[in-house]
Amino acid sequence: MPARQALKGSGLKAWAWWLGLLVLAPVALPLALHTRRHALRLPPAAGPQQGVAGAQFVAKPLRLLLLGESTIAGVGVASQADALAGQLAAALAVRCGRPVHWQALGENGITAAQAQQRLLPQVLRQPVDLAVLALGVNDSSHLSSLHSWCQAQAGMAQALQQQGARVAFCAVPPLEHFTALPWLLRRLLGARARLLDGCLGRVAGQLGASHHPLQLEFTAEFLAEDGYHPSVLGYRVWAQALAAELGLEELR
C-alpha cells in the first residue's frame, strides 16, 4: 500500500520523462555507452565494514546500520572511517554522548530491489536502533520503474521498523550535478533522480520514516577523482549535516 500511494501524482511526470528519453535516445544512448566504457572506476573502501565510534563514552551504545549502494561501500575514499558510515557514527557519538556501534552494508552498482533481496536478509536478525538507507543513483541510471523503487524501499523500511529500528532515507543524489557525466546525461538522469526522490519522500511520510536531502556542494574539493563519489571532505560534510538533521541529541 505505501508503494502504491507514493506513486500518486507521478504518472504524468513519469510519462513526460520517458517521452523525452525516447526523443533523445539516438544521442543519449551512444553517449551513455561511451561514458560507461571510459568512466574511472574506484574500489570500495578497504578494511572493516563495522566498528565503534565514541568508545570513550560510558552509556548504552547506539546501534547504527547503513545499507545501500556505493556510497555505503565507501567508494571514493581509502577506509570506512573516512566514508559516510564512519564519519556519521563519529558525529552521532559526539551529539548523543554515547558509543555508536556501526555497520556498513553496501554494494557498488546495486539497485533498491537488489538491496532488498541481497543485503536486507543479512541484517534482519540483528538488533538495530537507527537504519540509514542510501540508494537511488543506480536506480536512476538503470531506469528502474517507480513502482519497483517504491516497493523495495517501503519493504526494507517496514522490515527494519518491525525489528525496532528508526529508519532514515537519504535522498536520491542530484545527478544533474555529477561532473563525471556529460551535460545531456546529467539533465536526463537528474530528472529521473528527482522523480524517484519525490516518491521516496512520500514513502517516508507514510511510514513515519525521515527523508534527508543531500547537503553537499558538487565542486572538486567535495568529490573524489572520479567526479562521481564524495571525497573525504564530501563524506564529512554529508555526515555532519545528516547527524544534525537526525536530531538524536535527546538520546543522551
**Residue 58 pLDDT > 80:** yes
Q: What does the pLDDT read at residue 148?
A: 95
Measured CA distances, 226 to 29, 108, 175, 190 (Å): 21, 14, 14, 18
- Looking up cell 551512444, which residue turns up? 30
If we measure between CA atoms, which residue out of 99, 193, 207 comes closest to residue 159? 207
Which tens digits make up the pLDDT trace of 205-215? 999 999 999 88
**Residue 44 pLDDT > 90:** yes
Q: Name the least confident of 79-83, 217-221, 226-230.
A: 217-221
What is the C-alpha radius of gyration for the chain, rounded to an integer number of angstroms? 18
Largest interatomic CA distance in the chain: 61
Which residues on neighbouring strands pair with residue 68, listed in sequence order? 106, 134
Identity of the residue numbered 106:
G
The single-letter DSSP state of residue 129 is: S
If we measure between CA atoms, which residue out of 166, 47, 43, 167 comes closest to residue 108? 43
**Residue 221 pLDDT > 60:** yes
Taking each helix axis from N to C end, the angle separating 183-207 and 146-162, rounded to the nearest 10 degrees, works out to: 40
**Residue 5 pLDDT > 70:** no
Which tens digits make up the pLDDT trace of 133-188? 999 999 999 999 999 999 999 999 999 999 999 999 999 999 988 888 888 988 99
